[in-house]
């Protein structure tokens, strides 16, 4: 994947502006910030509302793994020393750890459909 000359970010080809000279190998965000393109020209740029919605959608999908990691850490540091609750919470934690990947696999299509809905339409310019 190409790299932007200004921010050194690595993006897919559709995230770059089309052109030669100063516009070559410049991502849409840097092109807009540097004044190389107008906002109307850049259809693949996410506005802040779309970017926030995409981030929220991604965070909701991956949050079970983050919670399981946090609870495992709490169990190792604190909960396992509590006499009856250490064993009970371990059993529940193992069950949730085994269920989470299955749940994520079953909801993968819904996740990808929601992400596709939050992706702006993009038409490849001639020459790309």
Domain ranges of the chain: 1-45, 48-117
**Which DSSP state fits 3?**
B
Average pLDDT over residues 96-125: 87
Tokens of 38: 């107008």
Q: Report angle CA 119, 123, 127 to the nearest 5 degrees.
A: 135
pLDDT recorded at residue 96:
97
Is 21 a residue whose pLDDT tops 80? yes
Distance, CA of 36 to chain centre: 27
Is 47 a residue whose pLDDT tops 70? yes
| Cβ neighbours, 10 Å, residue 27 | 24
Is 109 a residue whose pLDDT tops 90? yes
Q: How far is it, in rounded angstroms, from Cα 18 to Cα 24?
A: 7
pLDDT recorded at residue 50:
83
Is 68 a residue whose pLDDT tops 90? yes
Q: What is the pTM of this model?
A: 0.66
Is 1 a residue whose pLDDT tops 80? no
Tokens of 36: 């190389």
Q: What is the DSSP string of 8-58?
A: --B--GGGB---SGGGTT-BHHHHHHTTSS-TTT-SSPPPHHHHHHHHHHH
């Amino acid at each position: 994947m190409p790299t932007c000359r200004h921010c050194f970010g690595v993006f897919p080809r559709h995230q770059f502006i089309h052109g030669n000279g100063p516009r070559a190998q410049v991502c849409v965000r840097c092109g807009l910030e540097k004044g190389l393109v107008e906002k109307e020209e850049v259809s693949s740029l996410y506005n802040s509302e779309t970017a926030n919605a995409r981030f929220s959608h991604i965070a909701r999908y991956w949050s079970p793994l983050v919670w399981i990691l946090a609870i495992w850490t709490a169990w190792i540091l604190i909960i396992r020393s509590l006499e009856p609750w250490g064993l009970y919470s371990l059993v529940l934690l193992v069950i949730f750890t085994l269920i989470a990947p299955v749940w994520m696999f079953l909801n993968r299509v819904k996740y990808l459909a929601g992400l596709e809905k939050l992706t702006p339409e993009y038409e490849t310019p001639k020459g790309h």
